[in-house]
Structure 1
Amino acid sequence: METADMYISGVGSYVPARVSVEDAVAAGRYTTEEVGLHGLASVAVAGDVPAPEMALRAARAAVARSGRSPAELDLLLYTSTWHQGPEGWPPQSYVQRHLVGDGVLSTQLKQGCNGMLTALELAACHLRAVPGRRAALLVTADNYGTPLVDRWRMLPGAVAGDAGSAVVLDTEPGFARLASVCTLSVSQAEEMHRCAEPLFPPGILEGRTVDFAAHNDEFRRRAVTEGDGTKVLVTLDERMAEAIDQALAEAGIKPGDVTRVACMNTSREIADQICEMRLGVPASRSAWEFGRTIGHCGASDQVLALEHLVRTGGLGPGDHLLMFGFGPGVTISAAVVEVLESPVWARARGGDA
Structure 2
Amino acid sequence: MRTPDTFIAALGSFLPATVTTEQAVAQGLYPAETAEIHELGGAAVAGPIPAPEMALRAAEIAVKRSGLAADEFDLMLYASTWLQGPEGWLPHPYLQRHLVGPIPALEVRQGCNGMFSALSMAYEYLRADADRRSALLVAADNFGTPLMDRWRMSALFIAGDAASAVVLTKTDGFAQLLSVCSTSIPEAEEIHRASEPLFPPGVSLGRAPDFFARLQEITAKVAAAPESPLGAAMARVREEIPVVVGQALDEAGIGLDDIARVAFLNCSREATEQRCMVPLGLPMEKSTWDFGRMIGHCSASDQILSFEHLITTGQLRAGQYLLLFGSAPGVLLSAAVIKVLRDPGWTE
| TM-score using structure 1 length | 0.96
- The alignment-based identity, stated in percent, is 52
Counterpart position of 1:330: 331
Kept in 2, the 8 Å contact 1:180–1:250? The answer is yes
Matched-pair contact (CA < 8 Å) for 1:309–1:315: yes
SS across alignment from 2:35: helix
| Distance in structure 1 (CA, Å) of the matches to 2:21 and 2:12 | 26
In structure 1, C-alpha distance between the alignment counterparts of 2:284 and 2:276, rounded to whole Å: 5
The whole-number CA distance in structure 1 between the counterparts of 2:42 and 2:318 is 31
Give, in whole Å, the separation in 2 of the partners of 1:267 and 1:179: 29
More displaced stretch, 19-28 vs 220-229: 220-229
Deviations 1:306-331 (A, max 9, x none): 10000001100011110011111111
Partner of 1:143: 142
Q: Is the 8 A contact 2:248 2:335 kept in 1?
A: yes
Q: Give the equivalent residue in structure 2 for 1:242.
A: 243
Give per-residue Cα distances to partners, 1:73-127, cap 9 Å, x unaligned: 010100101000001101001011100101x111001110011011101110111
Residues 156-178 of structure 1 deviation map (CA, whole Å, 9 limit, x = unaligned) = 41000000000011101200000
**Unaligned ranges ≥5, structure 2:** none
- Residue matched to 2:19: 19
In structure 2, distance between residues paired with 1:144 and 1:276: 27
Indicate the SS of the match to 1:89.
Answer: coil
- Could you tell me how far apart the structure 1 residues matched to 2:39 and 2:26 are? 17
How far 1:202 sits from its partner (Å)? 1.4
State how far apart, in whole Å, the 1-side matches of 2:42 and 2:289 are: 12
**What secondary structure is seen at the aligned counterpart in 2 of 1:293?**
coil
**Residue 193 of structure 1: aligned partner:** 192
User: Structure 1 residues 232 and 274 mapped into 2: Cα distance closer, same or farther (>3 Å)?
Assistant: closer
The SS at the match of 1:4 is coil
Question: In structure 2, how many angstroms separate the alpha carbons of the residues matched to 1:286 and 1:179?
Answer: 20
TM-score with structure 2 length normalisation? Answer: 0.97
CA RMSD of aligned residues (A): 1.1
Post-superposition offset of 1:275: 5.1
The code of the aligned residue for 2:132 comes to R
State the partner residue of 1:315: 316
CA deviations on 1:247-297 (whole Å, 9 max, x unpaired) are 111111111110000000001112223454222221011111110110000
The answer on whether the counterparts of 1:21 and 1:41 sit within 8 Å (CA) in structure 2 is yes
Partner-residue secondary structure (3-state), 2:324: strand
Taking the aligned partners of 2:127 and 2:86, their CA distance within structure 1 comes to 34
Q: Show structure 1 runs of 4+ deviating over 4 A.
A: none
Does the CA contact (< 8 Å) of 1:73 and 1:136 recur in 2? Answer: yes
Q: Is 269-278 or 190-199 further displaced after alignment?
A: 269-278
